[in-house]
Structure 1
Amino acid sequence: MEADLADLAEAIIGVGRELRLRPYPDVVELTASEAHVMRHIDHHPGVTPSELARATGLQRSNMSTALRTLENRGFVERRTDPHDARGVNLFPTRRAGENLKRLRRQWAQQLSGALGGDTKDAAAATALLARVEAALMADRLG
């Protein structure tokens, strides 16, 4: 069982690497940190910068740099927190959504091709990996 789980972790890393190495025409490329920050904001619109730093596990300076770059590129917007005018919430922009849509379409094409069109187990694999990610993140955040 331990070997199976280690093999699963290795496969996840390998698939992620292969997906990152592919060129994606018409998609604005992001650094690993920018993509990590953007993914969290996409999944948690309205997140505060402090929540974002904690959730991503990035050092504050790296997170700030990635966030500033994403804002400058028109991917993230800051809005005043409706409950506390001193705070801000972070939201993906329409540009970010369009970029993500193009990227997801190209990922789907890559995976479909790699699987020879046999995608019957994709939903079960996605559910398993989402469960693993959520549990690992909860463990890290304590």
Structure 2
Amino acid sequence: MDSELADLAEAILGVGRELRMRMDAGVAGPATSETAVVHLTASEAHVMRHIDHHPGVTPSDVARATGLQRSNLSTALRALEQRGFVERRTDPHDARGVNLFPTDQAADNLTRLRRQWASQMARVLGGDRESAAAATALLQRVEAGLVADRLG
């Protein structure tokens, strides 16, 4: 058995859980209007992340890339639009279609969230930025491989 690989998957899940718990509990310190982060559900965050990385993407492409059912995607998009995080624009090549774009409000929220994540990582890793960069590269490779495998 490839226990090292199973251990890696388990560690990934554990780190994600700890980050979510810390942000939900406000471990990064008291929130002010300048530091408060609007928390998203897991589905909303997954959708938002894809739209952030691919501005102008179509809803169909988001559904395929995220693996969400269309009904779950529609629910997440409605919530993101209500929060002012996603804007729908008519597709310039096909007036029947729409493209999805992150808003400035979404970018501000992401900046605050990344600041909190960086603070958490700095606290637990200290100055070990070299290992952080290597771990990031590995995890990006793992994510890309898993997505490619799922999309076939």
**Shorter-chain-normalised TM-score: which range?**
over 0.9
Moved more, 106-115 or 20-29: 20-29
**C-alpha distance after superposition, 1:65-84 (max 9, x if no partner):** 01001001100000111111
Q: 2:86 aligns with which of 76, 85, 88?
A: 76
Match for residue 5 of structure 2?
5
**How far apart, in 2, do the equivalents of 1:18 and 1:59 lie?**
27
Q: What's the counterpart of residue 17 of structure 1?
A: 17
What displacement does 1:119 show? 2.3
For residue 72 of structure 2, the aligned residue among 36, 46, 62 is 62
TM-score by length of 2: 0.90
Q: Which runs of 4+ in 1 moved over 6 A?
A: none
Report the equivalent of 1:100.
110
* Number of aligned residues: 142
TM-aligned CA deviation for residue 116 of structure 1 = 2.6
**More displaced, 1-10 or 106-115?**
1-10
Gaps of 5+ in 2: none
Give the TM-score of the pair, scaled to structure 1.
Answer: 0.96
Local SS of the residue matching 2:68: coil
Stretches of structure 1 that go unaligned for 5 or more consecutive residues are none
Question: In 2, Cα distance between the equivalents of 1:81 and 1:90?
Answer: 9
Counterpart residue number, 2:126: 116
